A and B are shown apart, each in its own frame.
Chain A
Amino acid sequence: MSKLLIVSPSPHISSDQTTSKLMYGVVVSLIPAFAVTIYMFGIGALIVTAISIVSCVLAEALIQRYILKSEVTIRDGSAVVTGLLLAFNVPANLPWWMVVLGALFAIGIAKMTYGGLGNNLFNPALAGRVFLLISFPVQMTSWPLPIASRLQYLDAATGATPLSIVKEAVRNGEKIPDIMQQVPDHMQLFLGQMGGSLGEVSALALLLGFGWMLYRKIITWHIPVVIILSIAAFTGILWLADPLKNASPLFHILTGGVMLGAIYMATDLVTSPMTRTGMIVYAVGIGIITVVIRVFGAYPEGVSFAILIMNAVVPLINRYIKPKRFGEEVKHG
């Protein structure tokens, strides 16, 4: 035999799942949400998304090439996902240079300084969003009107999100049943006809994407389902206690970033726990903090902060919550 046989340790086969397939699977699952956002916010959504993806990918490539002087790994698709998710977390009329800044922060600070893919503590897209929210609070909270301002980008007519309408009104002493007249009904909320960040508006489209990711085994159901259930449970308790002051659980889970956060931001592979039990603890934590911020805090929206706070707890969760080992509990018949 002239050719040399190859020798390596077992196993000799591997599954066809790869990092880039996982990442592009996420991208594919975001198609329905992207379609809805184009329908609702039109040209602004397109511009913001394109700028965000391009700047994330470029930032990663340039940092790897010129600062770290390491191999450029933009082909794994993780920067594309970060870019897409960052865009989905900002309003469609955000000026382009703010998007670029957000992308730079997400990739440069939240991802690369920790050592790149797999080492970051915080979800890069969310870190970028929160950075923008704190730096440019006005631009980050003026939302283009859905459908009406499809053809405008920066000069789009703006309105408030249902959540901020409710928060403001409750603060002014109005009753929930009256406030509900001012916001879109539940069906509109479910389909996505409301003001908000690019990707967070349509629960339906996000649920479709969730289904796809489950089918492709990119994520498991635990984190999204538990977050939504725990938010429903905690807002439900408050609602039952005082339905005049607190919005219904259904309103809470259909508005703001709950769906986007639960399905896409909290499930980020790198920054979520490794065990099933850990995932559930993490998800319940996100649920509680979200509700606390929404109901008692200064911001109408709390999902992003809740996820980032729980991101910081993940190493602890991984350290102390272990999978149940085989043979740990002896069941002797």
Chain B
Amino acid sequence: MLKTFKKGGVHPPENKLSAHQPVQTALLPKTATILLSQHMGAPAKALVAKGDAVKTGQLIAKGEGFLTGNVHSSVTGKVTKIDEVQDASGYKRQAVFVEAGEEEWMPGIITDNTLDKTIRFEGPEIISKITDAGIVGLGGATFPSHVKLTLPRGKKAEFLIVNGVECEPYLTADHALMLEKGEEILVGIQLLKKALNVSQAHIGIENNKPDAVAHMKKLAASYEGIAVHALIVKYPQGGEKQLIKAITGREVPSGGLPVDVGCVVFNVGTVFSVYEAVQKNKPLVERVVTITGVQVKKPLNLRVRIGTSVASLIEQAGGLPEHTGKIIMGGPMMGKALGSAEVPVVKGTSGILLLPDAVSERSPIQPCIRCAKCVSVCPMGLEPYLLMPLSQQKNYDRLEAEHIMDCIECGSCSYTCPASRPLLDYIRLGKASVGKIIRTRKKP
């Protein structure tokens, strides 16, 4: 029987236009714009200066502080400047600009693609290699992987959960990666299992990728302690909490972490990067990005160097279609709409989606008819119809009591609302305010 999470969820049209497209290597950027904050926490500290020559894979910024990660040069060339650039949100962030010349990898990095299954390291060494390689969650949240691997005191992991769900419509990067780098992912899983000291790993893949399920199942048979689960197609199954529920039946408690129920979750793309970091000494300088959209000439999956501009990726997919209304970094449910295509790809960029004019603008907001669809689709068991007005009224006490902090911002409520109400917009606003209040309360 296929598994899934119980509560809520929606099933938008899948539109996996670029499924079964092999992963092609994107053109190297002429100038790589490498942002210093490609992870959750504070920006990394630049180690290079204007005029420095850097090689591909060279550490150019060091993550200092708790939730940060190292940043490496994704091309070989000269640092032309370290300056502010607009990121996906349009706000200015520090970035290192590297003008690309002839490619030369840092010594020590193995660039051939032969499979290396031998595990040579102990847990702590694996974690330190992952830290050095600047690996963050590639599913989009960009949570530094080494932090995830360092369990809070007193907690013990039982399962490693690997997220191959890719529940966002349109996106196919993880799908393509599983088909092409299945073995590497499995070796990566073994490495992570060792780092976490767990014996069981579960891979969850939605059943709209039967080839990936079959492929991973076949390969996993020859590895100890790796189970592959086909899951019913339902958004947001790629959400950490929903995936754990689907596979193990356990519920991460409200306000808790996956490790509270003995689980640690990694995306398949992250696992592949872990493989490369540990077995090949290769830091995270490239990732697979889906470039897609109904009007896109050649929807495809590209292996892209971090710092390549979105505009150049669109060029490689056949150019910007005439009636493009929106460029989205990420999937249609949780991705960020870009104000300009001159934004660099970051570690968390899983796809570039071009939406045509006709579907880019929102429908006019109508009154709530209390149809309760938002309540029934909320995967966290919240009441969006109630949270939205409470947020408008700034009734923060009540919002907190109604569990607004549990919201995972999946967008199922806004998606399903027949009256096109901007439920999530206001919930996000309320959540941010309540979060601020809670944080100040914790401080003495």
Contact = CB atoms under 8 A, between A and B. Distances in A.
Interface of A: 1, 5-15, 17-19, 21-22, 73, 76, 78, 116-119, 220, 269-276, 318, 322-333
A326 B406 contact: yes
Q: What is the interface of chain B mostly: helix, strand, loop, or mixed?
A: loop
B253 interface: yes
A323 B375 contact: yes
Nearest to A329: B251
B369 A11 contact: no
B361 interface: yes
Contacts of B219: none
Interface string B357-390: 0011111001111111101101111110110000
A110 B229 CA distance: 53
Nearest to A271: B370
A18 B363 contact: yes
A331 B326 contact: no
B327 A269 contact: no
B375 A326 contact: no
Contacts of B419: 18-19, 118
Interface stretch (B207-215, B271-279, B408-416): B408-416
Contacts of B158: 333
Interface string B329-365: 0101111111111000000000001010001111100
Contact of A6 (B325, B363, B417): B325
Given A13-B415, A331-B250, A326 B7 contact: yes
B333 A18 contact: no
B41 interface: no
A119 B324 CA distance: 38
Interface stretch (B96-104, B118-126, B184-192, B254-262): B254-262
A325 B254 contact: yes
Nearest to A319: B386
A1 B372 CA distance: 42
Given A6-B337, A11-B334, A12-B328, A333 B262 contact: yes
B420 interface: yes
A272 B116 CA distance: 61
B318 interface: no
Q: What is the interface of chain A mostly: helix, strand, loop, or mixed?
A: loop
Given A10-B334, A117-B369, A220 B425 contact: no
Interface string B47-84: 00000000000000000000000000000000000000
Given A15-B12, A21-B418, A119 B367 contact: yes
B251 A118 contact: no
A14 B417 contact: yes
B355 A12 contact: yes
B10 interface: yes
B169 interface: yes
A171 to B, nearest CB: 41
B295 interface: no
Given A9-B428, A326-B380, A327-B252, A14 B369 contact: no
Contact of B361 (A6, A117, A330): A6
Nearest to A278: B372
B325 A274 contact: no
Given A7-B339, A10-B335, A332-B250, A323 B383 contact: yes
B354 to A, nearest CB: 10
B424 interface: yes
A327 B251 contact: yes
B403 interface: yes
A39 to B, nearest CB: 32
Most B Cβ at <10 Å: residue of A8, A73, A327:
A327
B241 interface: yes
Contacts of B378: 323
A13 B403 contact: no
